[in-house]
Amino acid sequence: MNLQQVANPRPASNGHGRRRVERENVSKQELKSVSGKTKPSRLTNAGAPAGSKTGGYESPSRERLVYLTTCLIGHRVEVQAADGSLFSGIFHATNAVEDFGIVLKMAHSIRIGSPQGQMSIVDNIGKGPSKTLIIPAKELVQITATGVSVTRDGFTNDLQHVKQQDIMLDSSISQSRHGEAERQLERWVPDEDNPQCPELENIFDGNWNRGWDQFKANAALFGVKSTFDEELYTTKLERGPQTRELEREALRIAKEIEGEETQDLHLAEERGVQLDENFDIDEETRFSSVFRGVDDSGYYEDDEVLLDSQNTETFGGASSSVISKSFANLTSGKSDDGDQVSSCSSLKDEVQGSVSSTMRDLNKSDSSDHSRQLLSESLSKNAASNCDSRIQENQFSEQLGINYLTEFVEKKTLAEVAQKTKSEDLQSSLRTMKDGADIGGHSMNATLYASTSLGSSKGQEKTSSPGELKDNVTPAKPQGAATQSARSRGRPGSASSTSERGGAATTSSGPGLSPSSSVGSLSSEKSTLNPHAKEFKLNPNAKSFIPSQTPLRPASPVADGSFYFPTNVAAVPHMHGVPVGIGVGPSFAHQPVVYNPQMAPMQSPQAYFHPNGPQYGQQMILGHPRQVLYMPTYPPEMPYKGRDF
Amino acid sequence: MDANSFGGEEFAVGCILSIKTTLGDEFDGQIITFDRPSNILVLQEGIKSVSGPRRNIRLLKANYIKEFSYLGQAEDPLNSKKCYLDLSALQAREESAIRQAEIEAERLGVGVTPVAQSIFDALSKTLPVRWDKTAIVVMNEVRVSSPYLPESVAGGTPAANERVRKVLELERKRLQSRGGSQ
């Protein structure tokens, strides 16, 4: 326990300079005493070495040696002995005063050297690891250690690593903040016990590229040509001169957000904030449960005024980065419809009331990696929207699922919308308002439906939304000021591609996004709508749509006798004089069938192929003499083919 | 521990050497430091020093150097400004490492044949096992003693016994096929 001042020479010989004061250490000087206690060394100033006991030890090289051996403490090392034996153990101590014999803990021999010379180390072969192994300096040949952290960064890593070893949190593995750029990846090798999968070696051999292109193989084998276009599913990445800047900006914002303090436990954990160990919080609370007390992304009413003023200066230029940032915030986990709606509107100078929401989100959003990705993605990927005037806004809106409607802003309906927690109401009100707005630009439609669809599908893949938007935009263009309901239903009809995406069909066509689970999740979250938002003013021109379960057309005479035939019925043999219809069971929700018993018998009923929705097997009903009126249940998403009733 | 005969200049910090030891090891490394009194040369492996926080370190007694050649000179691999020791962290690390090692040590049977050990390892993948001298105790109920054949399974409820027996047979088969294919 005598503490030699090993580390002291101050004259900056060899350019090593002063050691830092933090460098305590040096207690590992006792061979025998394996106490883990350490005592800080006393770093004296220059001039002291002469009087110290450590006569020959003042060289900086000795310092370094001691420093490095200290770094090894607790590390698994391999020690080679003079007789060739190799031991592996945890480095515990070294005699830094004298000759640097070392002490290992939990050591076991890897290789036994030939028993010549002194074999003082021996005989724990087959006895399992020895608790303590002492290797005198005379026997010591070399010590090797891999992955030793030598500098401060390494130590921080270690510390955290050790702390978190019990529970290997994903955040500790994946966080890049922990310093290491990459983990050392080891190639996976199958268990030795399973020799049955030899083919794995071949396919995945080599580097990532593998030399095997699945698309080429498919084309060669089956003649299948891939028509995958990434831009169908996500916003187009515009790589221009702006990209770098935008990326940087996004990164900056992301860092800013992530660096924010938060009261939310989960957020804090994600951001790497170490929780005080003394807190008696069980695992569930810490890692999994949803905390309902404080909502970081919500509104803070008292900040409204302040935020308003901030808002103008922030959003004066409506810089893209800021916009995206707010959007990104909104799409983060806790935001809901109200947030989105109001935040988007805030970007318009006209709206005052709901501005606060955006700002709040900006300041207190519980952004996650998700939002960060969105940020960078949104910034770099700009959707190739067809909308001319609103391209910029549309891009962001569709990427981030924000309802970005100038009409809304003008009408100050946003607040009202924001207050509706039910997505159904949201949809209907949106539609109503949009209607009366008499769309100035097609973009309005696009954004409207984009927003509705996006609002509902927020939980879904982001990539789906731009696609929807595109589809929505195209049919929206040629439209006049038809009724809102007509439009809503007409769109999915025209866009055949929407049939594949159930989400699109549902959202664009009607209120009540019941099929969309994400919407359900949205509405189920705590409502943080802005109570101060502007009041909703009904647009008298809007056609109100009331979703109902009753059929829209109760047995009214149909002049041209349209029939809806399922697409999978090639020919419908019809008998003269007998109205032919395809009976629809109540299970078939998508097919509106009009069966008009009063209609005069048709010679050739026209077939309307219902392009939307999956076509179920039909019960073909022919030759029904009696009057049958089919009243299919109309699901909210029933596409309406533009009929006025 | 004879006084080493190497000139200090050759062992300057940052030098890159290729070294052969008397015991047959060969490696390259960059000198971090050389301490004359103890005759220990500290090297950092890899010529392009992995200048992340983690390095491969080798401490070599200089008198075991059979021959070496000078490969080049690079700058000091150890940045003095960044050197920092957190003793509590080191201790914590050591403790956790020891704990780990102890846990692993328990898995090793003392005085058992390698075959037995591999059976133990295989069983432990799906069943809780521990050693009791040279017998494998499964689920604290069933004992498998040498020669670790399905017949040597004893104890426990019939169901447990059966299960262990089955697993043991399977493992045996696997070991055999693996041993044979090798």
CATH label of the domain that carries residue A122: 2.30.30.100
Return d(Cα A248, Cα A56) in angstroms, integer: 54
Q: Which residues sit opposite A609 in a β-bridge?
A: A565
Give the mean pLDDT of A12-24: 40
Which among A22, A141, A149 has CB closest to B54?
A: A149
Give the mean pLDDT of A146-156: 68
Most confident of A29-33, A204-208, A531-535, A641-645: A531-535
- The model's confidence at residue B129, banded by pLDDT at 50, 70 and 90, is confident
Mean pLDDT of chain A: 55
Note whether B53 contacts A150, CB cutoff 8 Å.
yes
Note whether B94 contacts A64, CB cutoff 8 Å.
no
Nearest chain B residue to A144, by CA = B58
- Contacting A residues, span 390-429, partner chain B, CB-CB under 8 Å: none
What pLDDT is recorded for position A422? Answer: 45
What pLDDT is recorded for position B145? Answer: 83
What pLDDT is recorded for position A355? Answer: 40
Cα Rg of chain B, angstroms: 26
Chain A closest-CA separation from residue B13 CA (Å): 9
> Total domain count for chain A?
1
Note whether B54 contacts A59, CB cutoff 8 Å.
no
Note whether A148 contacts B37, CB cutoff 8 Å.
no
Q: What is the DSSP letter of A231?
A: G
> Which tokens in the block code for residue A65?
């040696």
* Distance from the Cα of residue A141 to its chain's centroid: 52
A193 touching B (Cβ < 8 Å):
yes
What pLDDT is recorded for position A210? Answer: 60
Give the mean pLDDT of B150-159: 84
What pLDDT is recorded for position B65? Answer: 87
pLDDT at B119 over 80: yes
Question: What φ, ψ does residue A306 adopt, rounded to 5°?
Answer: -60, -45
For chain A, how far is it from start to end, CA to CA, in angstroms? 98
Which among B36, B57, B178 has CB closest to A148?
A: B57
Residue by residue, DSSP assigns A251-287 as HHHHHHHHTS--S-HHHHHHTTPPPPTT----HIIII
What pLDDT is recorded for position B157? Answer: 87
What pLDDT is recorded for position A591? Answer: 46
Note whether B54 contacts A92, CB cutoff 8 Å.
no
Return d(Cα A352, Cα A135) in angstroms, integer: 77
What pLDDT is recorded for position B149? Answer: 83
Taking only the tens place, the pLDDT of each residue in A419-473 is: 444 444 444 444 444 444 444 444 444 444 444 444 444 434 444 444 444 444 4
pLDDT at B158 over 60: yes
Taking only the tens place, the pLDDT of each residue in B82-97 is: 777 888 888 888 888 8
A239 touching B (Cβ < 8 Å):
no
- The model's confidence at residue A207, banded by pLDDT at 50, 70 and 90, is low
When mean pLDDT is compared across A269-273, A463-467, B14-18, B164-168, the lowest value belongs to A463-467
In a domain, A127, yes or no: yes
What pLDDT is recorded for position B51? Answer: 53
Give the mean pLDDT of A101-115: 77
- The model's confidence at residue A156, banded by pLDDT at 50, 70 and 90, is low
pLDDT at A206 over 70: no
When mean pLDDT is compared across A107-111, A159-163, A255-259, the lowest value belongs to A159-163
A123 touching B (Cβ < 8 Å):
no
Taking only the tens place, the pLDDT of each residue in A30-82 is: 333 333 343 333 333 333 333 334 444 567 778 888 888 888 888 888 888 88
pLDDT at B24 over 50: yes
In a domain, A97, yes or no: yes
ipTM: 0.80
What pLDDT is recorded for position A148? Answer: 78
- The model's confidence at residue A389, banded by pLDDT at 50, 70 and 90, is very low
- The model's confidence at residue A166, banded by pLDDT at 50, 70 and 90, is low
In a domain, A109, yes or no: yes
Give the mean pLDDT of A343-349: 42
Mutate which of B9, B76, B78, B90 to test chain A, going by most A C-beta atoms within 10 A? B90
Expressed as residue numbers, the domain containing A75 is: 60-162
Cα Rg of chain A, angstroms: 36
Chain B residues with CB-CB distance to A165 below 8 A:
96
Give the pTM. 0.39
Judge whether B73 and B14 are in contact, CB under 8 Å. Answer: yes
What pLDDT is recorded for position B98? Answer: 87
Most confident of A296-305, A379-388, A507-516, B168-177: B168-177
- The model's confidence at residue A372, banded by pLDDT at 50, 70 and 90, is very low
When mean pLDDT is compared across A553-557, B49-53, B134-138, the lowest value belongs to A553-557
- The model's confidence at residue A607, banded by pLDDT at 50, 70 and 90, is very low
Chain A residues with CB-CB distance to B80 below 8 A:
16-17, 19-20
Chain A closest-CA separation from residue B37 CA (Å): 8
Taking only the tens place, the pLDDT of each residue in A351-364 is: 444 444 444 444 44
Give the mean pLDDT of A344-372: 43
Q: Which of A358, A450, A472 is nearest to A404 (CA)?
A: A450
In a domain, A150, yes or no: yes
What pLDDT is recorded for position A599? Answer: 45
Q: What is the DSSP letter of A440?
A: S
Return d(Cα A331, Cα A340) in angstroms, integer: 7
What pLDDT is recorded for position A248? Answer: 87
Taking only the tens place, the pLDDT of each residue in A211-249 is: 778 888 888 888 888 888 888 888 776 777 777 888 888
Nearest chain B residue to A145, by CA = B57
Note whether A73 contacts B57, CB cutoff 8 Å.
no
HEC per residue, A460-528? CCCCHHHHHHHHHHHHHCCCCCCCHHHHHHHHHHHCHHHHCCHHHHHHHHCCCCCCCHHHHHHHHCCCC
When mean pLDDT is compared across A409-418, A525-534, B51-60, B162-171, the lowest value belongs to A409-418
What pLDDT is recorded for position A418? Answer: 43
Q: Tokens 């019809």 sit at which residue?
A: A574
- The model's confidence at residue A163, banded by pLDDT at 50, 70 and 90, is low
User: Does 2.30.30.100 match the CATH number of domain B5-73?
Assistant: yes
pLDDT at A538 over 70: yes
pLDDT at A8 over 50: no
> Which tokens in the block code for residue A501?
């995406």
Taking only the tens place, the pLDDT of each residue in A242-274 is: 778 888 888 899 888 888 877 777 877 777 776
pLDDT at A571 over 60: no
Note whether B60 contacts A126, CB cutoff 8 Å.
no
Indicate the domain borders of chain B.
5-73, 105-177
Mutate which of A19, A31, A68 to test chain B, going by most B C-beta atoms within 10 A? A68
Judge whether A142 and A86 are in contact, CB under 8 Å. Answer: no
In a domain, A123, yes or no: yes
pLDDT at B144 over 80: yes
Query: Own/partner pairs for A238-247, CB < 8 Å, 24+ apart?
Result: A238/A380, A238/A381, A238/A382, A239/A380, A243/A380, A246/A320, A246/A321, A246/A379, A246/A380, A247/A376, A247/A379, A247/A380
Note whether A22 contacts B59, CB cutoff 8 Å.
no
Note whether A180 contacts B42, CB cutoff 8 Å.
no
Note whether B85 contacts A147, CB cutoff 8 Å.
no
Instruction: Calculate what percentage of chain A has a pLDDT beyond 90.
Output: 0
Taking only the tens place, the pLDDT of each residue in A470-517 is: 444 444 444 444 444 444 444 444 434 434 443 333 344 444 344 444
